Amino acid sequence: MRITMIEAVHPALFYIIGSLILPIVKRRPLRDIFILTIPILSFLQVLQLPEGQVWTIKILNYYLLPLKVDRLSLVFSYVFIIASFTGFVYALHVKTQGEHISALMYVGGTLGVTFAGDWITLLIGWELMAIASVFLIWYRRTPGALKAGFRYIMVHLVGGTLLLAGIALHVGSTASTTINRLPCEGFSAYLILTAFLINAAVPPLHAWLTDAYPEATVTGSVFLSAFTTKSAVYILLRVFPGAEILVWLGTIMALYGIVYAVLENDIRRLLSYHIVSQVGYMVCGVGLGSPLALNGSAAHAFCHILYKALLFMGVGVVIEGTGESKLTKLQGRNLYRELPFAFYLYMIGAFSISGVPLFNGFISKTMVVTSAGEIHRPLVHLLLHLASIGTFLHTGLKLPYGTWFGKAWDRNKKKESRSLRVPLNMYVAMAFNAALCVAIGIYPTVLYRLLPYEATYHPYTLYSVVTTIQLLLFTLLAFWMFLGQLGGEAKVSIDTDWFYRRGADLFFQFCISSDAIRSLGQRWMERLVMFASTFARNPWSLLTPAYGKAKKIASYDPDEYRQAIGVGIALFLALFSLLLGLSMNIR
């Protein structure tokens, strides 16, 4: 007998209502049980949802479909809920209620996007994700996190606005709110695509990710790594399958992350660049568009969420224990003696992301790469193989070597030998994810059965296993030879966020300097008037210079930035009216 009441609840509502109740559940064991019950209930609910079920609500002549169940939304919802469960286990020791509340809201928004059947529900989930997730960055409570959080939310609000504009144009012209596959042409489709590409972190629109994720709280970055980019991949799979532009964007993306990862010193930022790289495979798979490629994208998203969360958990343990996140600070500490379990569990994630046979990355990544071969795209095939090499090089070799072993970068550094205390629940969550990575790697059928499209694929053939092992072994060899040059450097690499981080400064400077020109003119005119006025003075004062000379007092000037801000607002208004005019012409 089924419980009819539970059957009628949207899976996202468990999280959203849970996040509203959580503030009054403060007592520790009760709170922990409450948090962990939410994903379990939601998962049970999703298991009961029949395929093809659709809820329809009519509001103001528009049909909203807040729940639309099909194979694609189901496979993504399973992994989102699993990831939230392990994420909450990992974060269980965190006392700040606000962090749990925002994480719950964030997952709720993601599930809202996953089950959305119409554009308006999608938009609500989209914005909820952006707003809830920024608190996972701000709760780090460092100046860097505050600033990065502001940049993060600004980029996502721009993305949300583009999505809203695209949806408004699309719904206005077709009079249908249902999410369907869109041809990649026309202004509204471009706006919607751009919004999706921002969330998928496709270069050059990716910098929000690598900027903000390393600044988030230790437990927050585990959540962040799972949801935003993968929900974007999901919606790309639904709306733009087979769009040719995605093939190349995805391939470039896979390599872009690799190049930056070589230069990176911050361990979480290195992993963030590998999110960009791995999502590249998925975006490429969406673009390739064959059933195998689309299945590959979905499967790779599924596996990626599990192993990437595991990797972030592993380095999270290091940051929690040592307080350091830079390779230059960690090298030579020989952390292996202090945190061996974190190393072993991290390595399971590292083997998974590198696509080592018997780990889950192997059974999903090869699907995308093989499909590129099957529909005869030699360059894409070759470049994706190259990206796999880079993945193993950094995540599998450079990062763990530098973090847990490695030669001291600074030889004068004293050996610290304080014992590192890391909460047990962090290890439990890691073990759970590691077990899933290995289980899916050994028995891939369990995942393949869930995939949305009709395609058969067998990962474990003699040819693919032997060639993969060769590729990885010789990468290891090259790493070994270049070991001396692969240590971290205490530097930052400028990325496309330079344009808005430095650009904002330059814009402000421009507004001030435009004011400076005006005030220069004013000063000269004042001097002229002052000079002229001397002729109108008491003639006696010309002979006694002390007369009439009052000292000027430097003090607060309320007008200092008035002109600059005025110019800024004027420019924004001009841009806004230009866009308004353009959009009216388009309609």
Partner 1 sequence: MKRKVFLFTSTALFILINLFLPTEEAHFVWERLPIFNVIFGFLGCILIIVVSKTIGKCLQRDENYYD
Strand partners, 58: 63
Q: Any residues with CB less than 8 A from the CB of 177 and at least 6 apart, and which?
A: 62, 63, 64, 65, 118, 119, 120, 171
Can you say whether the dihedral through the CA atoms of 492, 498, 500, 501 is positive or negative?
positive
* Of 82 and 472, CB closest to partner 1: 472
* Of 88 and 152, CB closest to partner 1: 152
* Of 112 and 390, CB closest to partner 1: 390
Q: How far is the CB of 265 from partner 1 (least distance, A)?
A: 8
Q: How far is the CB of 316 from partner 1 (least distance, A)?
A: 22
325, HSE (Cβ side, Cα atoms, 13 Å) = 21
Q: How far is the CB of 261 from partner 1 (least distance, A)?
A: 8
For residue 63, give the H/E element and its range. Answer: strand 62-68
* Of 93 and 326, CB closest to partner 1: 326
* CA atoms of 222 and 272, how far apart (whole Å): 11
Q: Please, are residues 316 and 90 in contact by the beta-carbon 8 Å criterion?
A: yes
DSSP-assigned letters across all residues of 80-93: HHHHHHHHHHHTTT
Q: How far is the CB of 314 from partner 1 (least distance, A)?
A: 23
Q: How far is the CB of 381 from partner 1 (least distance, A)?
A: 7
Q: How far is the CB of 414 from partner 1 (least distance, A)?
A: 22
The binding site for partner 1 (CB under 8 A) comprises 258-260, 262-263, 370, 373-374, 376, 378, 381, 385-386, 389-390, 393, 461-464, 466-467, 470-475, 477-482, 485-486, 489-495, 501
Q: How far is the CB of 322 from partner 1 (least distance, A)?
A: 18
Q: With b meaning 16 or more CB within 10 Å and e meaning fewer, what string describes 24-63?
A: ebeeeeebbeebeebbebbbebbeebeeeeeeeeeeeeee
* Of 194 and 496, CB closest to partner 1: 496
Q: How far is the CB of 413 from partner 1 (least distance, A)?
A: 17
Q: Counting Cβ atoms within 10 Å, is residue 432 exposed (0-12), middle (13-18) or buried (19+)?
A: buried
Q: How far is the CB of 461 from partner 1 (least distance, A)?
A: 6
Q: Counting Cβ atoms within 10 Å, is residue 550 exposed (0-12), middle (13-18) or buried (19+)?
A: exposed
* CA atoms of 233 and 241, how far apart (whole Å): 10
* Of 333 and 381, CB closest to partner 1: 381
* Of 485 and 585, CB closest to partner 1: 485
Provide the residue type at 527 as one letter. R
DSSP single-letter state for residue 66: E
Strand partners, 326: 266
Provide the residue type at 297 as one letter. S
Q: How far is the CB of 384 from partner 1 (least distance, A)?
A: 12
* Of 191 and 212, CB closest to partner 1: 212
Q: Given its phi and psi angles, is residue 186 left (phi above 0), alpha (psi -120 to 50 degrees) or beta?
A: left
* Of 108 and 488, CB closest to partner 1: 488
* Of 271 and 393, CB closest to partner 1: 393
